[in-house]
Chain A
Amino acid sequence: MRYLGIEPVKPRVGIFDFSGCEGCQLQLLNKEESLGAFLSALEIVHFREGSSEASDDYDIAFIDGCVTREDEVVRLKKIRSIAKLVVAMGSCASFGGVLRHRNYIDLDAANREVYGDKPKETGKTRAIHEVVKVDVTIPGCPVSKTQVERIVQHLVLGVPFHDVVYPVCVECKQKFNTCMFEKGTLCLGPITRGGCGAPCPTGGLGCWGCRGATVDPNLKEFKDLALKRGFSEAEIDERLAFFGGFEGITCASI
């Protein structure tokens, strides 16, 4: 099928998993109504969860997960040297995700606790861009399939892709929600990048910031308004650290 007379290119795509829950990869197989079309827009040559083929010849690499071991560094660098385009997919790939918490604990002690006297090799969590150059970043825990589709359309047809730059509040308000703060619940919506459709405030949870900081977030006002509503610095800091999208930002640093 041609779109506006443009002949789509069918890129060879590899989907690779690093440290993480692999939920983002699984998202790629969701949204059944357009799954067939999605899969036929691409030539998927490497996708452990979706097929047994494993080729080393691809144009685009979708990376799921973050880097926590040295062998992952080697594998990632090899992927980068082959792929023309590297897409960091999901919060772990984009900024470390929940695995970023490992950077704040004693890893050796944790290793002993879990593996006893047979510790496994493990190191600090790094986002994909901290190891190799990333061309496109799609944060989200998990990533939104709709956004992946738009990126694929962008890559295949050149349909422009602009991630939203407004915070979660816009889509939250557009769902007629009463603000979580009115209900006495903390919410990172005002400083988190929107585009997710605000499922968490809509479902009665505050936003936990899985899409990372929005463009030019007003951190100072956010801190003030949260403190004024009775949330402690510890609560705010815990929330900011949760998905790793506010790396280095704490109440003390704001």
Chain B
Amino acid sequence: MLYKTITKSDFEHLIDFILEQNEIIAPRKVGEKPDGTPIHQFLPIEAFSEMDLDYSKTEYSAKTYFLPFRENLSTWSFGDGGWKQDIQYRQKPRAIIGLHACDIHALLKLDKVMLKGPFPSPYYKARRENTVIIGMDHEPCGSGFCASLGTDILTHGFDLFLTDIGDRYFVAVDSDRGFRILSQVPLAEVTDEDRRRYVRARAAISEKQTIKVHTRNLPTLLDLTFNSAVWEKWGSKCLSCGACAMVCPTCYCYGVKERVCMDLASASKVKQLHSCNLVDFAEVAGGHNFRPTREHRLKYRYYHQHRGFAEAYDEPMCVGCNRCGDTCLAGINPPDVIADLEQENP
């Protein structure tokens, strides 16, 4: 890893430079809750001033720029002589600015499934490779428990990662591409004072991480609490609405449907993200449903996030952003559910 510092005004120049050639996705303030809390989303911007890097957490993750909610996988057109297939991978380069550490960790976890698994997704790969990631350190978001999962700090998975050290940004460079972009503005070597300031800035952020969730040995705890009444308690509240999976930065489940054009001259395969909480998630031929109740379905969401994925990839899938908990109308959230499981004494 290479470290440099840049001035804040040069960061603005850097954004202008990137905007000349690329689409930029960045946190934008889109509204306020009735209590005045700002609402942010990752959206395209046209100018530096449209971003609000001082955001705490976006309501939705940036997942949609890699795994869109809806995506046309393939289109066929039929003619008298046969048929023609058309597959479009996104080619246009794009930069996402201001991703926090947890959201970059989420991408690294998705990579394990989408790029390094037995069936790499060319759609995901095309977007991933064409997206420059410029991350940023930030004050803890309030409801997240990333520190309990070790996703509040980061050593790779980005092109550039910035930490505010007062009048300058301390920049970690993790790719050639990142270095080439950064070289558009004057770079300074890291001084002893910068080093001290960086360490202090990081320590100040860590100190504010107050939400603790016991995640050590969680896969085993989940095994031991399989029949716990905790699942009935939280499961009976679940609306089976899938909102949690839609905002989650790591949920990747989907369904594929065929859509035939009304003139029968073409058809397409359309992928749509789904959720394991939805009533038909585990429905198979013959109408059998392996997850017939909300209790089952909610339990298996936690099992995949904290146990199944950990078994397959040696780490949980959840990055602790608590977007699922923030969005859930029924108030179901990982810190409370996991705390209840902890209380169980199997």
Are A170 and B34 interface neighbours, CB within 8 A? no
Selected contact of A169 from candidates B39, B236, B239, CB within 8 Å: B239
Bound together, the chains give a CA A216 to CA B279 distance in angstroms of: 8
Bound together, the chains give a CA A3 to CA B279 distance in angstroms of: 32
Bound together, the chains give a CA A222 to CA B240 distance in angstroms of: 11
The stretch of B109-117, B126-134, B177-185, B259-267 that contacts the partner chain:
B259-267
- Residues 51-92 of chain B: 1 if any A CB is under 8 Å from the residue's CB, otherwise 0? 000000001100010000110000000100000000000000
A122 contacts partner chain B, Cβ-Cβ < 8 Å: no
Bound together, the chains give a CA A33 to CA B329 distance in angstroms of: 39
Bound together, the chains give a CA A167 to CA B279 distance in angstroms of: 9
Selected contact of B239 from candidates A36, A37, A165, A221, CB within 8 Å: A221
Are B60 and A166 interface neighbours, CB within 8 A? no
Residues from chain A with a CB closer than 8 A to the CB of B262 are: 34, 37-38, 41, 149, 152-153
Residues from chain A with a CB closer than 8 A to the CB of B238 are: 218, 221
Are A1 and B264 interface neighbours, CB within 8 A? yes
Task: Report A221-251 residues with CB < 8 Å from chain B CB.
Answer: 221-222, 225
Interface of A is mostly: helix
Are B243 and A153 interface neighbours, CB within 8 A? no
Are A215 and B279 interface neighbours, CB within 8 A? yes
The stretch of A66-74, A110-118, A175-183 that contacts the partner chain:
A175-183
Bound together, the chains give a CA A149 to CA B267 distance in angstroms of: 14
Residues from chain A with a CB closer than 8 A to the CB of B272 are: 174
Residues from chain A with a CB closer than 8 A to the CB of B237 are: 218, 221
A107 contacts partner chain B, Cβ-Cβ < 8 Å: no
Residues from chain A with a CB closer than 8 A to the CB of B31 are: 178
Task: Report B212-258 residues with CB < 8 Å from chain A CB.
Answer: 236-243, 246-247, 258
A205 contacts partner chain B, Cβ-Cβ < 8 Å: no
Bound together, the chains give a CA A71 to CA B274 distance in angstroms of: 46
Are B264 and A8 interface neighbours, CB within 8 A? yes
Bound together, the chains give a CA A189 to CA B327 distance in angstroms of: 14
Residues from chain A with a CB closer than 8 A to the CB of B69 are: 173-174
Given the known interface contacts A165-B278, A165-B279, A218-B294, the answer about A3 and B30 at a Cβ–Cβ threshold of 8 Å is no
Are B280 and A166 interface neighbours, CB within 8 A? yes
- Residues 4-34 of chain A: 1 if any B CB is under 8 Å from the residue's CB, otherwise 0? 0000100000000000000000000000001
Residues from chain B with a CB closer than 8 A to the CB of A181 are: 329
Residues from chain A with a CB closer than 8 A to the CB of B241 are: 166-167, 169-170, 189-190
Residues from chain B with a CB closer than 8 A to the CB of A153 are: 260, 262
Selected contact of A3 from candidates B34, B41, B264, B331, CB within 8 Å: B264
Selected contact of A34 from candidates B236, B240, B263, B275, CB within 8 Å: B263
Bound together, the chains give a CA A29 to CA B282 distance in angstroms of: 37
Are A170 and B279 interface neighbours, CB within 8 A? no
Are A1 and B239 interface neighbours, CB within 8 A? no
Residues from chain A with a CB closer than 8 A to the CB of B243 are: 169-170, 173, 179
Most buried by A among B60, B239, B278, B294: B239
Residues from chain A with a CB closer than 8 A to the CB of B278 are: 165-166, 170
B154 contacts partner chain A, Cβ-Cβ < 8 Å: no
A136 contacts partner chain B, Cβ-Cβ < 8 Å: no
For chains A and B in complex, what number of residue pairs have CB atoms within 8 angstroms? Answer: 111
B33 contacts partner chain A, Cβ-Cβ < 8 Å: yes
Given the known interface contacts A173-B242, A218-B239, the answer about A179 and B279 at a Cβ–Cβ threshold of 8 Å is no
B190 contacts partner chain A, Cβ-Cβ < 8 Å: no
Residues from chain B with a CB closer than 8 A to the CB of A191 are: 239
A83 contacts partner chain B, Cβ-Cβ < 8 Å: no
Selected contact of A159 from candidates B33, B260, B280, B294, CB within 8 Å: B260
- Residues 276-290 of chain B: 1 if any A CB is under 8 Å from the residue's CB, otherwise 0? 001110000000000
Selected contact of A157 from candidates B240, B260, B263, CB within 8 Å: B260
Selected contact of A176 from candidates B33, B60, B294, CB within 8 Å: B60
Given the known interface contacts A165-B279, A179-B327, A190-B241, the answer about A1 and B34 at a Cβ–Cβ threshold of 8 Å is no
Residues from chain B with a CB closer than 8 A to the CB of A119 are: none
Residues from chain A with a CB closer than 8 A to the CB of B267 are: 3
Residues from chain A with a CB closer than 8 A to the CB of B339 are: none
Bound together, the chains give a CA A159 to CA B267 distance in angstroms of: 11
- Residues 158-202 of chain A: 1 if any B CB is under 8 Å from the residue's CB, otherwise 0? 010000011101100110101101111000011100000000000
Are B279 and A166 interface neighbours, CB within 8 A? yes
Are B261 and A34 interface neighbours, CB within 8 A? yes
Bound together, the chains give a CA A128 to CA B330 distance in angstroms of: 35
Given the known interface contacts A34-B261, A167-B240, A215-B279, the answer about A221 and B70 at a Cβ–Cβ threshold of 8 Å is no
Q: Given contacts A190-B241, A215-B280, could you give 7 more A-B pairs where the C-beta distance is less than 8 Å?
A: A170-B246, A173-B242, A173-B247, A174-B273, A176-B60, A183-B34, A216-B294
List 15 contacting pairs A-B, 8 Å CB cutoff, sorted by A. Answer: A1-B78, A34-B261, A153-B262, A159-B258, A165-B279, A166-B240, A174-B69, A174-B272, A178-B31, A179-B329, A189-B241, A214-B279, A220-B236, A221-B238, A221-B330
Spell out A's residues near B (CB within 8 Å): 1-3, 8, 34, 36-38, 41, 149, 152-153, 157, 159, 165-167, 169-170, 173-174, 176, 178-179, 181-184, 189-191, 214-218, 220-222, 225
User: Which are the 10 A-B pairs with shortest beta-carbon distances?
Assistant: A37-B263, A173-B246, A174-B69, A169-B241, A34-B262, A37-B262, A190-B239, A1-B264, A3-B264, A170-B242
